[in-house]
Structure formats: C-alpha cells, structure tokens
C-alpha cells in the first residue's frame, strides 16, 4: 500500500508519521509537499500535526487553501481514506470535509500529555480493532472541539463520533476532558466514514520503545481495510 503524508510549512509531526508508516509498518510512503496537485496514486492520505503556516490566521485556515487540498478534497469525495491528526483535524474542518471547529483550549494553555480515549464507533475504516480504551498523547493549544447543538445532534444520530476523552476506566467525565471539547469529542468521521479527524497523536505511541503501542491499532485498522 502507498501512503501520502502531506507536508506544510510549519508541519512538525510529518516525519513521525513517515517513520511509523515506513519503518514500523513497512509501507510505501510518499511525502507530498503542500504545493503539489497530484496524490501520486496513494491509497491513504495523512494530514499530520504541527503549525501549518504558523497558525498565523487561524489553525488550518491558510493550509486549507494549499493546492494539495483540492486534490485531497476530490480524493475524499470519491471515497479515499484520509486521516487528519491534530493540525490535520483542524485543516479538515476548515476545508469543510468535517463539521465543526477547533478552538482554544479552555485553559488557554498548550497541553502535551497522554490521555485516554474511548472508541465510540468500531464500524469505521480506522477503528476495526478490539481494544476499547486507548492511551494516546495529545499536543495542542487549540483542540477544543465545538459545533452547534444541531450539528452535535446529527453527529450522534449518525454515529460519527469516533473517539471521546475518558478516564482510564472508560468513564466519560469533565475531569477527563483535557481541553474542554464539547461532549468530550476527540475524533469524528465524515458521513461516508472515510475521513477521520482526531486530536490525539497515534503516531507517537506506535512503538513500545517510546512508551506505548495503542496508536498501532488505528494504523493496523487502516491497513486491514485497504487489504480487504
């Protein structure tokens, strides 16, 4: 399989994703510069974390207009798999591929620490695994997911909420919510289920040597889906 990792000015987690896909999972990886317009036949596109264009306007707002995003949007609309991590999630929302917005953490501080998330929907291409509670790091200043009440209702009705922040035992509480995200939302999919945006970083916990392997579940699910 061939994965494409999009790189913007300011991306800082792109090589983490490249490393995990290429060296841990032994997949073909194409590094896609933001000015490119060709996805080079990739089977899955990853929008990594970082600070695209320095977040100078609003997180993801400038990156959304990069030439590569026209190709990513067309690819997603045709059913191609797209994974947006952290800043990638923000870009997907700005591009209209996912609803809602990511705003400042309620603490108004950057947060970098491991958190627990509960898998709410196992029927997506990204969550076909047994484990229910994942321990995955976050690293963001604007991870507070917000959507209006009607939008949240539609997300819940269509089972589009994939991950929610929780305690180690799976209890979903305000104390377990690191950034104030509405309904403890940590990740959602689009209506067709082929585009996932998530704030936690699975690429940062895919090797035991760096502290854990819960993130492997997501990449393995993608590979299993692509391999049929």
Average pLDDT of the residues in 210-221 = 96
β partners of residue 112: 139
Q: Is 203 a catalytic residue?
A: yes
In words, the CATH class of domain 2-226 is: alpha beta
Average pLDDT of the residues in 10-34 = 96
Buried b or exposed e, range 19-50, using 16+ CB within 10 angstroms: ebbbeebebebbbbebebeebeebbbbbbbbb
- pLDDT confidence tier of residue 59, bands split at 50, 70 and 90: confident
Q: How open is the CA angle 91-149-85, to the nearest 5 degrees?
A: 25
Residue 53: what pLDDT?
A: 74
pLDDT in tens, 98-135: 999 999 999 999 999 999 999 999 999 999 999 999 99
d(CA 26, CA 164): 30
Half-sphere exposure of 118 (CA within 13 A, CB side): 16
Q: Which of 13, 116, 203, 205 is catalytic?
A: 203
Residue 63: what pLDDT?
A: 86
Query: Is residue 97 a contact partner of residue 190, using CB atoms and an 8 Å limit?
Result: yes
- Could you identify the residue written with the tokens 């994965």? 3
> Is the C-alpha dihedral spanning 20, 4, 94, 92 positive or negative?
negative
Residue 17: what pLDDT?
A: 98
d(CA 107, CA 217): 30
Does residue 140 surpass a pLDDT of 90? Answer: yes
Buried b or exposed e, range 53-62, using 16+ CB within 10 angstroms: bebeeebbbb
Q: Is 19 a catalytic residue?
A: no
Query: Is residue 174 a contact partner of residue 183, using CB atoms and an 8 Å limit?
Result: no
Q: Where are the domains of the chain?
A: 2-226
Q: In the numeric block, which tokens belong to residue 201? A: 């970083």
Q: Is 44 a catalytic residue?
A: no
Residue 87: what pLDDT?
A: 95
Buried b or exposed e, range 158-193, using 16+ CB within 10 angstroms: eebbbbbbbeeeeebeeebbbbbbbebbbbbbbeeb
Q: Which of 86, 93, 166, 205 is catalytic?
A: 86
Q: Which of 34, 116, 140, 201 is catalytic?
A: 201
């Amino acid at each position: 399989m061939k994965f494409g990792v999009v790189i913007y000015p300011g991306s800082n987690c792109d090589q983490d994703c490249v490393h995990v896909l290429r060296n841990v999972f032994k997949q073909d990886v194409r590094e896609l510069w933001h000015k490119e317009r060709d996805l080079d036949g990739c089977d899955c596109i990853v929008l990594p974390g970082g600070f695209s264009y320095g977040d100078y306007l609003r997180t993801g707002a400038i990156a959304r207009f990069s030439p590569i995003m026209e190709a990513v949007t067309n690819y997603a609309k045709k059913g191609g798999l797209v994974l947006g991590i952290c800043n990638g999630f923000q870009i997907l929302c700005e591009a209209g591929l996912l609803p809602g917005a990511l705003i400042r953490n309620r603490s108004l501080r950057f947060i970098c620490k491991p958190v627990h998330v509960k898998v709410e929907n196992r029927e997506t291409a990204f969550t076909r695994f047994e484990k229910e509670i994942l321990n995955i790091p976050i690293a963001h200043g604007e991870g507070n997911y917000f959507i209006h009440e009607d939008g949240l209702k539609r997300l819940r009705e269509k089972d589009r909420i994939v991950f929610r922040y929780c305690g180690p035992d799976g209890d979903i509480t305000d104390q377990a919510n690191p950034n104030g995200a509405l309904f403890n939302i940590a990740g959602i999919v689009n209506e067709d289920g082929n585009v996932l945006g998530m704030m936690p970083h699975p690429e940062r916990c895919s090797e035991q040597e760096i502290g854990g392997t819960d993130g492997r579940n997501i990449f393995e699910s993608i590979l299993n889906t692509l391999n049929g």
